[in-house]
Amino acid sequence: MVNIQKKLFSSKSKIIDLKNLSDKSIKDSIRLGKISQYNLENELCKNNNSNYIKATRIRQSLFREKSGNNFKIPIDKFNSNNFYEKILNKNCENVIGYIPIPVGCIGPITINKEVCYIPMATTEGALVASTNRGCKALNNGIKSYVINDGMTRSPLVNFSSVQRSIEFKTWIENNFDLLKKTFNSTTKFGNLKSIKCNLAGINVYIRFNATTGDAMGMNMLGKGSSKCLEEIKKYFPDMKILSLSGNTCTDKKSSAINWINGRGKSVIAEAIIDKNIVKNVLKTDVNSLIELNYKKNLIGSSLAGSIGGFNAHASNIITSIFIATGQDPAQNIGSSNCMTLFEKLDDGNLHMSVTLPSLEVGTIGGGTGLPGQKECLKMMGINDTLLAGGNSKKLSMKISGAVLAGELSLLSALTTDDLIKAHMKLNR
């Protein structure tokens, strides 16, 4: 994306000194094709960062005139904490403003013996309150475990015959050490774990799986996979590279492969809820919760043909934390794969768990370095004191704990009339 932005900024047209021109003169120059709107930041802000707002203001005005709609998206806080400088060429292009999203907080909630407070960015009334109610019921604490860790990228190549595709698959399986060395040479923190090939006729889908330290890791996987393809080409010069992604990764799409094999962090959180807490705090009973979860989340989702949707609303919690902490919100699709389970213990108490096989998170890169998002991560105890990979695992475990609280609260509300009452009060 940075390379694309550089190309846009390297216009062949004569550069006009914009710093002393009025907004109207600059807009007239853009309309006449003398300068590109993409060049606004590049030219206006060379020696004056305060002109970032001017660039955004002019661009917003242009789009307002083109659309015929008198919209006014906020821009006034762009200069605080060098915010615009942080997003330029990194997080967004063609910027016309920003959208404020409320951030709520849940907690205290104890996860792996640590008392936590977790931010949730959302516009859905009752979500934070509901999840916080689940936190109150989890007074015995939550245990969370990362059982697998590995981001994936799946290039697509093909050959002129099925026989040649099979020969290629066999070679990949027999030369993992060579490709691991090649992949790992491109990254300081990445480590290739496995390569699996899926064949469809003459097409081969190569699924690289690697740990990525504290980064979510898509760029790391892309770079390493590309280097491996260069190495493979030496042995298979007839290989045609069709795409760096063949969709068996799978990124930002629902898929059984992520549900079964995992992607990113595979996490399980569990808790034991005292039957008296279920009665007095959640206003329901253990048997009702178990029956509802079975018939709604397991049978109902099966009838719907759901992939990874064996839960009440895991995506609600995950997406709100993703937005608050600078994750890629589009990855809520795979990350929200979740199975919620309830079981009655011999003493009558409730054992609850949520299994999240493909939670795609990072604590460096993307939007995690932006001021507000960075503070939300800090609020969750994410810092630089852990070994590489420790922070992203910590984040994934805290997200799983919040999901467990959200599931417990909503399912309890569904056994009574509390859900509709809360939404009529808080979400209208």
Per-position pLDDT tens, the chain of length 428: 344 334 433 444 444 566 678 889 989 988 888 888 887 887 777 655 567 788 888 999 999 998 999 999 998 877 666 778 788 888 988 899 999 999 999 999 999 999 999 999 999 999 999 999 999 999 999 999 999 999 999 999 999 999 999 999 999 999 999 999 999 999 999 999 999 999 999 999 999 999 999 999 999 999 999 999 999 999 999 999 999 999 999 999 999 999 999 999 999 999 999 999 999 999 999 999 999 999 999 999 999 999 999 999 999 999 999 999 999 999 999 999 999 999 999 999 999 999 999 999 999 999 999 989 999 999 999 987 777 889 999 999 999 999 999 999 999 999 986 555 655 565 55
Helix 23-31 and helix 51-67, axial crossing angle in degrees, nearest 10: 50
User: In angstroms, rounded to a whole number, what is the distance separating the alpha carbons of residues 84 and 52?
Assistant: 7
pLDDT value at residue 9: 37
Q: Which of 38, 37, 44 is nearest to 21 (CA)?
A: 44
Yes or no: say if 204 and 157 are a contact pair by the CB < 8 Å rule: yes
Give catalytic residue positions: 124, 252, 328, 423
pLDDT value at residue 40: 84
User: In angstroms, rounded to a whole number, what is the distance separating the alpha carbons of residues 213 and 398?
Assistant: 17
Query: Taking the chain, what is the end-to-end CA distance rounded to the nearest angstrom?
Result: 40
pLDDT value at residue 145: 98
Assessment of whether the complete model's pTM goes beyond 0.85: yes
| Cα R_g (the chain), whole angstroms | 25
Q: How many CA atoms lie within 13 A of 99 on its CB side?
A: 8
Domains and CATH numbers, the chain: 2-87 (no CATH), 103-148+260-426 (3.90.770.10), 155-243 (3.30.70.420)
Kindly report the number of other CB atoms within 10 A of residue 33's CB atom: 8
User: In angstroms, rounded to a whole number, what is the distance separating the alpha carbons of residues 354 and 236?
Assistant: 44
Which residue reads 């990949």 in tokens?
Answer: 172
Angle CA(50)–CA(82)–CA(96) in degrees, nearest 5? 65
Q: Which amino acid is at 330?
A: A
How is residue 106 written in tokens?
């849940």
Task: Say what the alpha-carbon torsion angle 7, 13, 14, 15 is, to the nearest 10 degrees.
Answer: -40
User: In angstroms, rounded to a whole number, what is the distance separating the alpha carbons of residues 24 and 12?
Assistant: 23
Which residue reads 């060395």 in tokens?
Answer: 181
DSSP string of 354-395? Answer: EEEEEE---SBSTTTTSHHHHHHHHHTT--SSSPTTHHHHHH
How is residue 139 written in tokens?
């007074």
